[in-house]
Structure 1
Amino acid sequence: MQTKIEDMAHRLAEVPGVVAVLLGGSRARGEHRPDSDWDLGVYYRGALDLAALGALAGPGVEVAGPGGWGPWVDGGAWLSVDGVAVDWILRDADRVGRVWEDCREGRYEVGVQAGHPLGFWSPCYAGEVALGRVLADPSGELTDLRRRTADYPEALRQALTAGAWEAEFLVEAAAKGVERADALYVSLCLSRAVGVLVQALYAEDRRWCLNEKGALAVAETLPGAPPGFGPRVRALLGAPGATAERLAATVAEARLLVGETVAAIRARTTP
């Protein structure tokens, strides 16, 4: 299978508009299971020959062009090779480069994107390159970017850890939904608060956080996480409650956990 994926990557790199192909996801990090997907980042510039991509994908496979899947997960295709899922994910090479420069300056944004319930955090673009494995790169530009992203930018670390304040704000917002027993609003606020904390914990440890999947399991092991962070989060989000009384107790527990986590992060990042 590895040989077939590498051959596919080189054929993708020959498509007009494609500049490089990167193996991402658990396969690139050596954390995959036997049934894990193969994720191929297809980096392009300018006009992309969608007809050529479609011919390479084969009959019955729909290729979504730039923007077809949303503003951040650009487009791509879902294939099956020997019964194993292979995902092509388009990435605008120039946009990835701009995001990397933003990361170096401590700037980031969070966008709405299908499949990312806590939003798409722009540093993911740089993190994908840093943690991926270049399979085809005729010009060498993606290889060079991967070398540069190996060092996590201190400015980004400071910005994401400073952004942990939003978790405190969200807990207080959740409290406003308690009296009405608004379980949806409370749950959304607390889920978002945890997501913000996870991003901050990753950044404090100079780790790239790519998405929500599996992020808590890693975050609870990081140095900035307070004791019991993972189990406490699971208890909060697993059963927040349906009555005002139970929701109030959940918010109180969340307030304590968020306060401890933010304090721990600030203590580790303040000179």
Structure 2
Amino acid sequence: MTDDTFLNGIADALAALPTVEGVALGGSRAQGTAAEGSDWDLAVYYRGAFDPEHLRAVGWEGEVSAVGGWGGGVFNGGAWLTIGGRRVDVHYRDLDVVEAEIARARRGEFDVEPLMFHLAGIPTYLVVAELALGRTLRGEVPAVDEFPDALRRSASARWSQMAELTLAYAAANHAPRGMVTQCVGSIAVAACQFAHAVLAAEGTWTTNDKRLLHAARLQEIDGVIAAADHGTLADVVAQAGTLARARLQSATAHIADGIDVA
């Protein structure tokens, strides 16, 4: 079965579910960066109530969560499936919530929510990023193009502030006590926070942690963490901060005088 035949069959089945108004392809498959064996990320955009039992009734192998089963918030559940031997993730997207987050993003407003597999949590504008980076397969979904200027300013400032506080706490509390795990964990979280700050300043959408540091060109922090040992924890925390601040400064240099580059 070709990829197109495979995808069209799934899109048709998802579009036929009650209350679903649109189906979109996301992730590496939508962006043309998929590797062999990459999974397929799809989202169902529904209006009103969505009943996962209708998705279960399609008969695909895998786990189908309740609405809100992945912690609630904007990322409110979905399914991990195997269809025709291929891995498929289906995400539930409430159109009322998505439209509200689009409006908030344009005003520079967002929240940060905890979500498994995302070290620093996710910004609620993640659902807006999905629309900007995805491809509509069936029906209609909201259109999103550029990263809002107001969000570039607010998100870069907020994420960088969180990163600075994360490192400061590690330097003041974990490093003096030789707490290696806590220090390394704090650096990892702060690196992700700095990465979000960099990408926001540059007006670059991101939807997950898989290549977050690489997208922000902060992968050098891998070397900082690899060099960590009990005797130099304070230095390691400081080195990570210095590296990340320099990258953020270059990303935000144009913001002070107005945003005119992507």
Greater shift after overlay, 207-216 or 76-85? 76-85
The match for 1:151 among 140, 146, 152 is 146
Q: Secondary structure at the match of 1:264?
A: helix
Identity of aligned residues (%): 33
Q: Secondary structure at the match of 2:76?
A: coil
Partner of 2:36: 34
Q: Once the 2 structures are TM-superposed, how far is the Cα of residue 14 of structure 1 from its aligned partner?
A: 1.6
Residue type of the alignment partner of 1:82: G
1:10-29 superposed matches below 5 A: 10-29=12-31
Whole-Å separation in 1 of the counterparts to 2:179 and 2:248: 26
Q: Secondary structure at the match of 1:116?
A: coil
Q: Once the 2 structures are TM-superposed, how far is the Cα of residue 182 of structure 1 from its aligned partner?
A: 1.1
Regions of 4+ moved over 4 Å? none
Alpha-carbon RMSD? 1.7
Residue type of the alignment partner of 2:219: G
1:154-169 superposed matches below 5 A: 154-163=149-158, 164-169=160-165
Whole-Å separation in 2 of the counterparts to 1:130 and 1:238: 35
Distance 1:262 1:38, change over 3 A: closer
Distance 1:266 1:12, change over 3 A: closer
Whole-Å separation in 2 of the counterparts to 1:39 and 1:258: 31
TM-score (norm: length of structure 2):
0.89
Greater shift after overlay, 254-263 or 199-208? 254-263
Q: Are residues 1:170 and 2:166 paired?
A: yes
Partner of 1:217: 214
Partner of 2:260: none
Partner of 1:115: 117
Partner of 1:225: none
Q: Once the 2 structures are TM-superposed, how far is the Cα of residue 63 of structure 1 from its aligned partner?
A: 2.0
Query: Would you say the 8 A contact 2:23–2:44 is kept in 1?
Result: yes
Whole-Å separation in 1 of the counterparts to 2:35 and 2:252: 36
Whole-Å separation in 2 of the counterparts to 1:4 and 1:116: 29
Q: Are residues 1:230 and 2:232 paired?
A: no
Q: Once the 2 structures are TM-superposed, how far is the Cα of residue 12 of structure 1 from its aligned partner?
A: 1.3
Unaligned runs of 5+ in 1: 221-228
The match for 1:192 among 189, 203, 212 is 189
Whole-Å separation in 2 of the counterparts to 1:270 and 1:169: 23
Whole-Å separation in 1 of the counterparts to 2:166 and 2:78: 35
Q: Once the 2 structures are TM-superposed, how far is the Cα of residue 256 of structure 1 from its aligned partner?
A: 2.1
Residue type of the alignment partner of 1:168: E
The CA deviation string for residues 145-179 of structure 1, in whole angstroms up to 9 with x for no partner, is 22xx1111000001112121332232221112111
Unaligned runs of 5+ in 2: 258-262
Count of residue pairs brought into register by the alignment: 252
Q: Once the 2 structures are TM-superposed, how far is the Cα of residue 75 of structure 1 from its aligned partner?
A: 1.8
Query: Would you say the 8 A contact 2:109–2:154 is kept in 1?
Result: yes
Residue type of the alignment partner of 2:253: A
Q: Secondary structure at the match of 1:57?
A: coil
Q: Secondary structure at the match of 1:178?
A: helix
